[in-house]
Amino acid sequence: MLVQDIYNLNIFIDDLNLFEAPGVVFSNADIYESIANPVPVMTMEMIIPNGWMDGRTLSDGTKIKIQIQCETLDLDAEYTFRLYNIKELEVMQNNVRINLEGILDFYDGYSSGNAYNLCGTSSEVFQKIAGTFGLNADIDSTNDKQLWVAGQKNIYQFFTYLAAYGWVDETSGMFWCLDKNKTLLYKNLTTLFRNRQDKVYSFVQTPVPDKKNKEFGYSGVKGSIQAGTNNLRNDGYGGSDSYFDLKSYSWKQAKANKVVAESNIINVSKDLSKGLSQEWFSFDVGNHHANYFKAYKQNRRVLSTYSTYATLTTEFLQKYRLGEIVTLEYTDSKNVDNKLNSLSGTYMIDAIHSQISLNNISGIVEMVMQGLNGKATTQENY
């Protein structure tokens, strides 16, 4: 199916091409990938004949494949999901309007993680699982050797546990996610920003992005600053937690107080960064890496300093990807010369909606930046 005269779109349910199925009318689809919700999902709406519904079972786990090729935008992609739910059915005379929900085609992520326990670093656990299942991988090396045990966790839950206690150094902030291409990411947010290429892609307000100058185009942008939400979710950023170390037979403190500044102003008030509560961790009997408890507090704190968001609408589906470092020129959609410097700067893409219909294939990109890029402030920041 040709869309916007540049995209070649095909959608398969098992081996059936929807655009070749008699009486089937495709309406729209949305692919959502996000660092906060690390397993991509898909929704799709279409109209099918009554008989098609009765004669072809849409069973749990039915494979749904979306293929998009675009020579103009150098795009050749295939995204595969498994039917998760039929969210809604509505009979319309001789037809049925149906709304499907799918989840990324990595069902093994719900299997037990204990087969991948090992004495090594958390990054080695990620590498082992990626290699076992043939996942593409973009994994940072960590300095957190210990015996990592999944216990009653499945693989996805094991990933979350590993990222919560993963450690590189005193400024690291670890996160994990899968993107729609089945690439497994386990990254240190600090080095992701700090070790970026000299020239990264920029989002600029233009209908025709320039690939030679590493440009992504966008048509509109809205921002939000969610520092207060992050502060409360992370117990006021600061403070210290305690645990009893049986090796030295003494109480120890787990305190994280370092953040690498990537913007002019880290939007964290010193007055509100003293901690709201103290957590008492379990005993350290020598099974954990040296910074195990500190890593838990530090990962939350470092990631929570990234609280400035920009949500962009793009007229075309471009080759931006989850976790990519980009720059943004934040301008008024009606006046491109009116640049807002405090919200312009270096961002990371933390969520993407890929929107597909017969009229157009477009995107919504959410990006996050640490603090603000305004001038000096009278408020004392921490």
- CATH number of the domain where residue 40 is located: 2.40.30.200
Assess whether pLDDT exceeds 60 at residue 94: yes
Helix (H) / strand (E) containing 187 = strand 183-188
The verdict on residue 241 lying in a domain is no
Q: Tell me whether residue 334 is in a domain.
A: no
Which one, of 197, 202, 227, lies nearest residue 213 by Cα?
202
In the predicted model, what is the mean pLDDT of residues 368-373? 88
**Portion of the chain with pLDDT greater than 90, in percent:** 51
User: Which residues, including other chains, have CB under 8 Å from residue 290's CB and lie 6 or more apart?
Assistant: none
The parent domain of residue 89 ranges over 2-105
Listed residue (240, 224, 227) closest to 312, CA to CA: 224
With contact defined as beta carbons under 8 Å apart, do 188 and 168 qualify? Answer: yes
Q: Is residue 83 part of a domain?
A: yes
Condensed to tens digits (0 to 9), the pLDDT of residues 158-182 reads 999 999 999 999 999 999 999 999 9
Q: 3-state DSSP call for residue 43?
A: strand
Q: Is residue 264 part of a domain?
A: no
User: Where residue 41 falls among pLDDT bands split at 50, 70, 90?
Assistant: very high
Strands 136-139, 183-188: pairing is parallel
Q: What is the pLDDT of residues 184-201, one digit of tens each?
A: 999 999 999 988 877 899
196 located within any domain: no
Q: How many domains does the chain have?
A: 1
Residue 176 in domain: no
Return the minimum-mean-pLDDT range out of 37-51, 83-97, 144-158, 244-258.
Answer: 244-258
Residue 50, φ and ψ in degrees, nearest 5: -55, -45
- Does residue 28 fall inside a structural domain? yes
pTM, entire model: 0.90
Using CA atoms, how far apart are residues 190 and 2, in angstroms rounded to an integer? 42
Burial of 312-347, coded b for 16+ CB within 10 Å and e otherwise, reads bbbbbbbebbbbbbbbbbbbeeeeeeeebebbbbbb
pLDDT at site 283: 59
pLDDT at 254 over 70: no
Q: What is the SS3 assignment for 191?
A: helix
At 10 the pLDDT is 96
CA distance linking residue 139 with residue 146, whole number of Å: 18
| Candidate from 73-87, 262-276, 300-314, 316-330 with smallest mean pLDDT | 262-276
Nearest Cα neighbor of 75 from 310, 311, 356 is: 356
Is the pLDDT score of 297 beyond 70? yes
Identify whether 296 is part of a domain.
no
321, two tokens: 């990807």
Query: Do the Cβ atoms of 113 and 128 come closer than 8 Å?
Result: no
Confidence tier at 335 by pLDDT (50, 70, 90):
low
